[in-house]
A and B are shown apart, each in its own frame.
Chain A
Amino acid sequence: MGSVLIIGKPNSGKSLLFNRLTGIRQKVANFPGVTVEVRVGESDGEAYADYPGVYSFNAMTRDEEVAIEEFRSALKSEDVSVVLCMIDATRLERSLVIGLQAQVAAKEAGKPIVFALNMMDELRSSKAEIDVAAIEKELGAPCAAISARTEEGLPELKILLKKVKTTPKDYISNQVTESVFEKAKDINSKFGPKAGLILKNQTQLDRFFLSSVFGGISFFFIMTIMFQSIFTWATPLMDLVEESIGWLATFTTGSMADGTFKSFLNDALFGGFGSFLVFVPQIFVLTFIIGLLEDSGYLARAALICHRPLSWFGLSGRSFVPLLSGHACSIPAMFAARTIESPRRRLLTYLAIPLMACSARLPVYSLLVAALIPSVSILGGLVGLQGFVFFLLYFFGIFVALILSAILSKTLYKTKTDSPFIIELPPYRPPHWKPLLLKSLYNSKMFITKAGGIIFAVTVVVWVLGYFPNGDGELGSSYLAQLGQFIEPLFAPLGLDWRYGVAVLMSFLAREVFVGTLGTIFGIENAEENFVGLVDSLNASGFTLASGVALLVFYAIALQCASTLAMMKKELGNWKAPIAVFFSYGILAYVLGWVSYVFVNSLN
C-alpha cells in the first residue's frame, strides 16, 4: 500500500480533505518540542499523511523547519507513491508558491504530484472562475477541481490518485521551475479568478469585527462566551466524570476490608488519578471552541486586536486565548498556546499560563479569604470586601505574569529577529463540525495518555508518603508529616507550623488538595464543602493575617500542579524547562510570601 502525502499552504482546506478521505481512522505523529503534527489515515486501502500547512519550503520557525524536513524525508521513502498538493483556488497565486516548490521536490525524489484545486464552491458563489484545463497544462501535472466542504469532485480525485499510483512514472512532472514566484503570478493572472470578486464579503465583515468600537465590543463578547463556556459547558460533563469515578470507587471498594489495597484504590487511584481525569471535559470543550474560532476565521482577527498590548510584555496577540483559558485550567491553555506562531513568544506564554488564577486555586483562595477577610461591604455597600480581595488575587496573577514575561523577553529570551507578526486574515467560513469534534476528542485522549503516566506516578509517591510507615492512613504519623516537621523551619519565617507545611507539600500534586489536607489534619470531615468548620479551626489555631497573606501570595505564584508540569514537559520536549520553572516560581513565591508577611506584620 503506497502513501499519499498531502501538502499545501495554511487555510487551503488540506485537513478538511484529509478528514473527508479518512474519516475517524487517524493517527497523529508529534515531534518533541514543536507543535508539528503529521496525521496519518487510511481509506479504501490507501494511506494518507497530512502535513502541517506551510507557505513555502523556506522555513521561518523551528516548527516549519521540522514540518518541511519530515516531508522531504518522507518523500524519499519507497512507501510514498504520490504527492497531493492542495491549492486554494480562491487564492491561487499564494497556494501555487508552495505547490510549485513541492513539484520540484517531488520530481527530485522521482515521485508524481497531483494538484487538488479546492474551494470551487466558493469560487462559484463569488461568481468567479478559473480555467482548470489551462492550469493543468501550465503545471504539467494532473489537476482535480474539488470542494472539500461539499465533497464535490472527491470521487474523481480518488480515481485520479489510483490512476497515478498505477503508472507513477508517466506522471512525474517535466515542467518544474525554480522561478516559482514568477510562474505562480503568471498562472494566476492568466487563468486565475478576477481580483476583487472573492474579498467582497470578507471586507464587509472585517469592517464590523475590526472596527474601533464594534470590534472591541464583539471581541469582549466572544471572549466572555468562550471563558464562560469553559466553566458552564464543561461543568455538567466534569460532574458526570466525577460522579462516575465516585460510583466506580464505591462499587470496587465498597465490600473490601479496610487496608493498604483499599486505601491505595480509594486515595491514590480514584481520589488522586481520578481528580486528574475530571479535567478531560474541559480540554474537550476548550479545544472545540478554539477550533470554532479558528475555522470561522475569527482567531486571526482576535490575535490582531490583542497583539499590540501583549507585545509590550514580549507576548503575541495569539497569547490572549491561552492566557484567558489559563483562568480555568493551565492544561487546556497550553493546548491553546500551540497556535502561537513564534516559538519564543509561545515559550513565554507557556511560562505565563501557570500564573493565571486557575480553578484549582479557587478552593484555597476561598478558604483563606473566608478565614482572613471579614464579610463586609465597601464603597457604600456596592462591593463586598471578600469579592474585592478575590479580584485583587486574579489581578495579582496577571500582573506577575506580564512583568515576568516582560523581564524574560528582554533578558533570557532576548532575540534580535523574532518570527515576524504577519498573519493571513482568512475568509470568514462556517466551521466543519465533524473534523472539529475529532480534533477535540484526539486532544482529550492525548491529554490522558501523555500526562496520565506522570500524574499516576506522582500520585502513588504522595500516597506512599502519606500512608506509611504505620500503614493506618493516619496522616499525622506518616512520612509526609515527618517531612512536614523536618521542613517546619522553612515555613516558620512565614509564621506557619508543620501542619501548613504538610498541606503545602501535599498540594504540590494539585493545589486544591491543600483544603482537604488541612481538613484531615484539623479533623474536619468533607473540608471542601464544610468551609465554616475549617475556618473556625484555622482561626482557633492562631492563624494570623500576616501568615494568611503570605500563603495567598505563595499560592498565587507557586507552580503546584503535577499535570501542568507534565503538560509543559510534553509541549517543550524536555524536563529542563518545567523543572527550572517549578523551582524559580517556588522560590519567587516563597520570597514574595515572606516579604508580604513582614510587611503585614509591620503594620500591626
Chain B
Amino acid sequence: MKLWELQKDQAAYISGFIESVPKIYFNRLNELGFQIGVEVVCQRQSPFGGPKVYQIGDDVFSMAKDVASCVTVEIGE
C-alpha cells in the first residue's frame, strides 16, 4: 500500500518507492529518513485531503498527497 493510505496512528515499514517517483522527491525523502525498512507512523490526518503528519524516529514531517503517494509501505506484524 502507499504511505498516503496509512490511517491515523497506524504504523508501517517503508517497502520502496513507486517507479515514477521524481528524482527530487526520491532524494529529499531519503535525506529525511524515508528509507526502505524504516518504521513510519501516521500521526495526523487533515480535513479535505490536506497534508498528513508522519513520524520517523524523533522526526516529524508533514507531507502532501503527491509526495506520500510515491512511498510504498507494508504493515508489520
CB pair B67 A199 closer than 8 Å: no
Could you say which residues of chain B place their CB within 8 Å of the CB of A294?
none
CB pair A199 B62 closer than 8 Å: no
CB pair A425 B53 closer than 8 Å: yes
CB pair B31 A56 closer than 8 Å: yes
CB pair B63 A199 closer than 8 Å: no
Q: How far is the CA of A195 from the CA of B57 in the complex (A)?
A: 6
Could you say which residues of chain A place their CB within 8 Å of the CB of B51?
304, 307-308, 317, 421
Which of under 10, 10 to 19, 20 to 34, or 35 or more describes the interface residues of A?
A: 35 or more
CB pair B27 A58 closer than 8 Å: yes
Could you say which residues of chain B place their CB within 8 Å of the CB of A188?
57
Q: How far is the CA of A307 from the CA of B65 in the complex (A)?
A: 11
- B27 partner, pick from A56, A93, A185, A199, beta carbons under 8 A: A56
In the complex, whether A478 has a CB less than 8 A from a CB of chain B is no
Q: How far is the CA of A484 from the CA of B47 in the complex (A)?
A: 53
Could you say which residues of chain A place their CB within 8 Å of the CB of B25?
417, 420
Q: Contact flags (1/0) for B42-57 with A, using CB distance below 8 Å?
A: 0110111111010101
B58 to chain A, nearest CB (A): 5
Q: A195-B57, A417-B24 are in contact. Are A308 and B49 (CB under 8 A)?
A: yes
Q: How far is the CA of A58 from the CA of B62 in the complex (A)?
A: 20
In the complex, residue of chain A having the shortest beta-carbon distance to the beta carbon of B35: A181
In the complex, whether A471 has a CB less than 8 A from a CB of chain B is no
Could you say which residues of chain A place their CB within 8 Å of the CB of B63?
420-422
In the complex, residue of chain B having the shortest beta-carbon distance to the beta carbon of A211: B44
Q: Contact flags (1/0) for A185-208 with B, using CB distance below 8 Å?
A: 100100001011111001100100
In the complex, residue of chain A having the shortest beta-carbon distance to the beta carbon of B24: A60
CB pair B60 A199 closer than 8 Å: yes
Q: Which of A399-419 contact B (CB under 8 A)?
A: 416-417, 419
CB pair A55 B31 closer than 8 Å: yes
CB pair A422 B32 closer than 8 Å: yes
- B66 partner, pick from A181, A195, A420, beta carbons under 8 A: A420
Could you say which residues of chain B place their CB within 8 Å of the CB of A422?
28-29, 32, 61-64, 67
In the complex, whether A223 has a CB less than 8 A from a CB of chain B is no
CB pair B33 A308 closer than 8 Å: no
Q: How far is the CA of A94 from the CA of B59 in the complex (A)?
A: 8
Could you say which residues of chain A place their CB within 8 Å of the CB of B76?
none
- B43 partner, pick from A94, A206, A300, A419, beta carbons under 8 A: A206
CB pair A94 B32 closer than 8 Å: yes
Which of under 10, 10 to 19, 20 to 34, or 35 or more describes the interface residues of B?
A: 20 to 34
CB pair B62 A425 closer than 8 Å: yes
Could you say which residues of chain B place their CB within 8 Å of the CB of A317?
51
Q: How far is the CA of A420 from the CA of B26 in the complex (A)?
A: 10
In the complex, whether A210 has a CB less than 8 A from a CB of chain B is yes
Q: A308-B48, A417-B22 are in contact. Are A91 and B58 (CB under 8 A)?
A: yes
In the complex, whether B10 has a CB less than 8 A from a CB of chain A is no
B47 to chain A, nearest CB (A): 6
- Residue among B28, B44, B57 with most chain A CB within 10 A: B57
Could you say which residues of chain A place their CB within 8 Å of the CB of B61?
422-425
- A424 partner, pick from B22, B29, B30, B60, beta carbons under 8 A: B60
Could you say which residues of chain B place their CB within 8 Å of the CB of A417?
22, 24-25
Q: A308-B46, A311-B64, A421-B63 are in contact. Are A90 and B35 (CB under 8 A)?
A: no
CB pair B33 A300 closer than 8 Å: no
In the complex, whether A17 has a CB less than 8 A from a CB of chain B is no
Could you say which residues of chain B place their CB within 8 Å of the CB of A196?
58
In the complex, residue of chain B having the shortest beta-carbon distance to the beta carbon of A306: B50
Could you say which residues of chain B place their CB within 8 Å of the CB of A148?
none
Could you say which residues of chain A place their CB within 8 Å of the CB of B64?
307, 311, 420-422
Could you say which residues of chain A place their CB within 8 Å of the CB of B66?
420-421
CB pair B48 A91 closer than 8 Å: no
- B44 partner, pick from A60, A185, A206, beta carbons under 8 A: A206
A261 to chain B, nearest CB (A): 59
Could you say which residues of chain B place their CB within 8 Å of the CB of A197?
58
Q: A206-B43, A304-B51, A308-B48 are in contact. Are A193 and B24 (CB under 8 A)?
A: no
In the complex, whether A455 has a CB less than 8 A from a CB of chain B is no
B14 to chain A, nearest CB (A): 13
Q: A93-B33, A304-B50, A308-B51 are in contact. Are A193 and B28 (CB under 8 A)?
A: no
- A304 partner, pick from B30, B35, B62, beta carbons under 8 A: B62
Q: A424-B32, A425-B61 are in contact. Are A210 and B27 (CB under 8 A)?
A: no
- In the assembled complex, 6 residue pairs joining A and B whose CB atoms fall closer than 8 Å, in A order, are A308-B51, A420-B67, A421-B51, A421-B62, A422-B28, A424-B32
Extra contacts besides A58-B27, A181-B35, A416-B22 (20): CB < 8 Å: A55-B31, A56-B31, A91-B58, A91-B59, A188-B57, A199-B60, A304-B53, A305-B46, A305-B50, A307-B50, A308-B49, A308-B50, A417-B24, A421-B51, A422-B28, A422-B32, A422-B67, A423-B62, A424-B61, A425-B53
